[in-house]
């Protein structure tokens, strides 16, 4: 039996409409080339900026992380890189594969243990001409317990991580103008506390171009170990709307867990309609969502 929960206080009934509120297409625009895998896994912010805006060339030429200038930008494999100077941009453009970070800009140690994690650009190194980034000092230390073997493991795990955690290059995600998802509610709280809890904006994590807030560090750590488990389905938009091939906003206080997946709904009426035939409507939503996202983001 699916675990179906709904907040005790619900907003008034209203009609289901196409999305005209929050929501943006985020990700690696133009990332696909002929024959390239349909999925990508890149550590980008909501504006598709890589490495938190740090200059990838500076890691090689300056031997330290340096923030790039938005006036000097290049796009490679759908990720936008910023540079400190026109000279660095020219170097990158001449050989972008030389300078792009490994493992999609995610933590190398995390990749070696078959997961993904954000990075702190101050924990970096160049190994055999490859830019490797780490999450924090603990990841740095664990990596260097056997750096050579961990690099082998990371390289071996990465294709599977892309297949498991990756998504189409462009995603339609229900975020506000700041890139915040779920109105700041903690996605992990639905699973661990059985209710939506507002997150703390000082405890935040970016995933797939969206920023999530968490009620505590423990929730943030759980999310980082398996982000795809906790993010809401259908880009955080209304599940019922997706089941009828439409896009509609969602209220984070109207929710349910369906086979271990978080589904948000727009209104109590949308919740009721979705659950009239939960299995069939969930299947329809899963079928329609890729096309809905593609039409909004790629056309």
**Rounded Cα gap, residues 24 and 223, in angstroms:** 22
pLDDT value at 287 more than 50: yes
Q: What are phi and psi of 231, to 5 degrees?
A: -65, 145
Structure tokens at 72: 């000097």
Angle, CA of 238, 239 and 245, to the nearest 5°: 90
User: For a pLDDT cut of 90, what percent of the chain falls above it?
Assistant: 72
**Mean of all residue pLDDT scores within the chain:** 89
CB 285 within 8 A of CB 273: no
pLDDT value at 276 more than 50: yes
**Rounded Cα gap, residues 98 and 95, in angstroms:** 6
Q: What mean pLDDT is predicted for residues 151-173?
A: 91
**Rounded Cα gap, residues 236 and 175, in angstroms:** 8
Model confidence, pTM: 0.72
**Rounded Cα gap, residues 180 and 126, in angstroms:** 33
Q: How many residues does the chain have?
A: 299
Confidence of residue 294 (pLDDT cuts 50, 70, 90): confident
Confidence of residue 235 (pLDDT cuts 50, 70, 90): very high
Confidence of residue 168 (pLDDT cuts 50, 70, 90): confident
């Amino acid at each position: 039996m699916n675990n179906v929960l709904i907040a005790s206080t619900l907003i008034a009934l209203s009609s289901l409409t196409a999305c005209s509120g929050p929501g943006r297409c985020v990700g690696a625009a133009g990332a696909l080339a002929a024959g390239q895998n349909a999925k990508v896994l890149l550590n980008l912010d909501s504006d598709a900026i890589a490495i938190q805006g740090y200059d990838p060339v500076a890691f090689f030429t300056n031997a330290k992380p340096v923030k790039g200038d938005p006036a000097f930008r290049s796009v490679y494999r759908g990720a936008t890189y910023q540079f400190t100077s026109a000279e660095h941009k020219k170097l990158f453009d001449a050989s972008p594969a030389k300078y792009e970070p490994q493992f999609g800009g995610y933590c190398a140690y995390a990749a070696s243990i078959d997961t993904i994690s954000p990075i702190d650009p101050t924990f970096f190194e160049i190994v055999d001409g490859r830019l490797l980034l780490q999450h924090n000092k603990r990841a740095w230390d664990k990596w260097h317990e056997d750096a050579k073997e961990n690099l082998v493991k990371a390289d071996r795990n990465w294709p599977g991580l892309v297949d498991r955690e990756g998504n189409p290059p462009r995603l339609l995600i229900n975020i506000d103008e700041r890139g915040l998802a779920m109105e700041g509610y903690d996605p992990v709280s639905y699973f661990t506390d059985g209710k939506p809890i507002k997150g703390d904006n000082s405890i935040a994590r970016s995933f797939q171009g969206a920023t999530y807030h968490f009620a505590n560090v423990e929730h943030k750590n759980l999310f980082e170990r398996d982000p795809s488990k906790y993010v809401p389905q259908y880009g955080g938009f209304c599940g019922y709307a997706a089941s009828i091939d439409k896009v509609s906003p969602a209220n984070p206080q109207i929710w349910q867990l369906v086979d271990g997946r978080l589904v948000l709904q727009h209104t109590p009426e949308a919740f009721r309609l979705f659950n009239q035939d939960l299995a069939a409507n969930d299947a329809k939503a899963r079928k329609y969502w890729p096309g809905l996202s593609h039409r909004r983001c790629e056309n």
